[in-house]
A and B are shown apart, each in its own frame.
Chain A
């Protein structure tokens, strides 16, 4: 009898979803609570935003969240391997490009939450929704780079005084040397950019295989004076806690979304959807803002709005997840030519 009851609720939940569900309706919440927990594969920074989101979500719904943190490519590979091995473990994942890779493999569920967000924050094909912006600029150690001497343009980075004092992540992504190559290509065009890379390669930029966040941590620690292609809001967060760090308005920075999707065959699909729902709700988006992240919700204000390019004084190069995934291999190839 109970089994039939359960079947019925999930059927109701299914019907509700099929009929264009709206934000966190009762059936979804109930189905999610029955699942009791959810595994989230994320590229977000754990102590900055993952833990506060989990705390808020758990408080509201009592659903346990477990996470694995890795970069976008690695998450896509883990998920794809798990699907091929017959055991998908994540019920929700985010990242900049993971969903595009998996979409092509038919491994993403077609679902977006019924959130109160502008249309451009949803995948036109219906596979993802954006949660926050990523804006990649250089970050500097303000003890090592005195005010007024910070590099403001790509050319400034060629100054011999920065030789051996810069670092970047080299796991291909927007927040890595490969993303920096993309920024320069967009700004200068290929011919000029290549001439620039040739000179930049002489600057002996340190290769780190860590997240953009940790590149910045090493800049804060004084290991490097400049971290290239870090996330500007990470510098903001650390600076507001008193760390000797700042970000530089080098233009154009890459602007992209972190987007969320549900993998096909997710073990806790409802709890996964509820988490997405929560993260794009005004409540969830406020947690992003308080943490110093860059939420997308129009009603939520940022702690420092100047972090997002306004198109006037601060112009960025926006790339959708699809565009980003299409461009990244080419950037990586050029990156390897000059810097590997």
Chain B
């Protein structure tokens, strides 16, 4: 009897926390994604456009949507430009990433691990930092690479390369996105069973024929997922469309949202900005559904399995030197030249290399940082926001994964979809939604680092997915055993599940931290004097005509995140094993 009572009491205790914590987690996820997006839709239906949805005088109206449809620029400029940008970038990115992945994973290329690190490294650097270097290099007139090429070929006038063009924008975006796709295609290639290729070789097919007739068709389903993912990622880009696309007169939708928030005069057109977000939000979520289908389909193809025991690497033979040259060229353009350019600019400003003596170097920008409170605050903010938001999305992602995989919480499927959907929400729209929400809630969060933590944390998809796959590998029997031994729910989680899940959660945290560290779009929309972060400060300095300071800060930031490259490498190779 007593025992039964004890069990009952335990059950009661178990129930409270076991229900409360997941329920809180679910509520938080809804608060981070659902509420801002609901506000976005609501604000699109309220007017006048420069009023916040709950402001005195605001009322329901279809004006914002009508204005959107009536604006011919949407169909004549924004949609075509966005599509050209996305299609071009996806094609080029995939080509580059596939070539790199194939060379490093499937051939006997020397120094494969070093190449892998060099290719992935730029992923850690905020996009504006790289963009600044490319502008210095490939500006159509004064760009150093162009000056060099003109001198070499005896050319005059501008060019031959122009970063400020649609093709320049696509090239830059592709180089920025390539490492990301490279990682995924590498994984797909690594997992590919070598049996078919070996059979082809046995049958006397040449390397090229094997590649064309076997490797490519077999991989197609595995490539589909990364291709759709890079489509989504390209689609939400804001940094390069702002920095390079504007001088190129490319009208990418994300940029249009920004101009509604920063109009020619007067106050932001919140309603119009929200209205123009809607079709693109829908498009993002639609691509995400496609992605979901593609990944599910890909699992049906057994040629890509976890059993890649002894892959035969293709002997490059006389192609070894050209292959190495290709990789050198890629790394030079994507990493080395931008880095050298930044270092040079930090010391010499706009003066092109070769034009000045080394003694003219001015290390003042570096020294000035010590006494500049803005730089220190931006550094503190960057680390603080990245740490807190990464902690939040990791904890929440873990919790959602637990709810979906382990609990019987009602609505857990919807929660899973909500978390997954965050992948389809462009950052510029997330920033806008959070802005409109917290401007309507005058509780003093707008303008602080907290609004950045909140806004960054809508990206729950990655951590949820990582935690879910981690959870799948942990059998319930350990938790059941703990339950049987009388452990309370929380104790079971803390002492059994979380330690087992720790490595997965650690990787999830690292990924979220890196994404937050280089985030530019959201803080650029939401910045104030108090919550300035480094990527925004670097761009502001450049925009305000202080290239040396801007580049110096970029160099310091790269130096500081270099150790991150090794952490990332460790993470990726561990998953390889």
Contact = CB atoms under 8 A, between A and B. Distances in A.
Interface of A: 39, 41, 45-47, 64, 66-70, 73-74, 76-78, 80-82, 84-87, 89-90, 97, 101, 105, 164-165, 170-172, 178, 206-211, 213-214, 216-218, 220-224, 325, 328-329, 332-333, 340
Contacts of B247: 206-209
A164 to B, nearest CB: 7
Contacts of B439: 81, 84-85
Contacts of A216: 545
A36 B194 CA distance: 70
B1 interface: no
B354 interface: no
Nearest to B146: A223
Contact of A210 (B158, B164, B267, B543): B543
Q: Which of A170, A208, A221, A325 has the largest count of B CB atoms less than 10 A from its CB?
A: A221
A222 B146 CA distance: 12
Nearest to B377: A66
Contacts of A41: 529
A217 B445 CA distance: 37
A216 B545 CA distance: 9
B350 interface: yes
Contacts of B540: 69-70
B242 A209 contact: yes
A233 B419 CA distance: 54
B246 A170 contact: yes
Nearest to B531: A89
A219 to B, nearest CB: 10
B447 A66 contact: no
Interface stretch (B79-87, B258-266, B325-333, B406-414): B258-266
A211 B141 CA distance: 19
Contacts of A220: 350
A33 B529 CA distance: 20
B310 interface: no
B142 A77 contact: no
B265 A66 contact: no
Contact of A85 (B55, B268, B445, B532): B445
Interface string B62-77: 0000000000000000
Interface string B226-260: 00000000000000001000110100000000000
Contact of B545 (A70, A164, A171, A210): A210
A285 to B, nearest CB: 23
A170 B444 CA distance: 33
Interface in B429-482: 435, 438-439, 442-448
A86 B266 contact: no
B142 A222 contact: yes
Given A39-B529, A66-B373, A105 B265 contact: no
B444 A86 contact: yes
Nearest to A335: B264
Contact of B139 (A68, A223, A329): A223
Contacts of B446: 81-82, 84-87
A208 B243 CA distance: 9
Contact of B442 (A77, A85, A90, A170): A85
B446 to A, nearest CB: 3
B374 interface: yes
A107 to B, nearest CB: 10
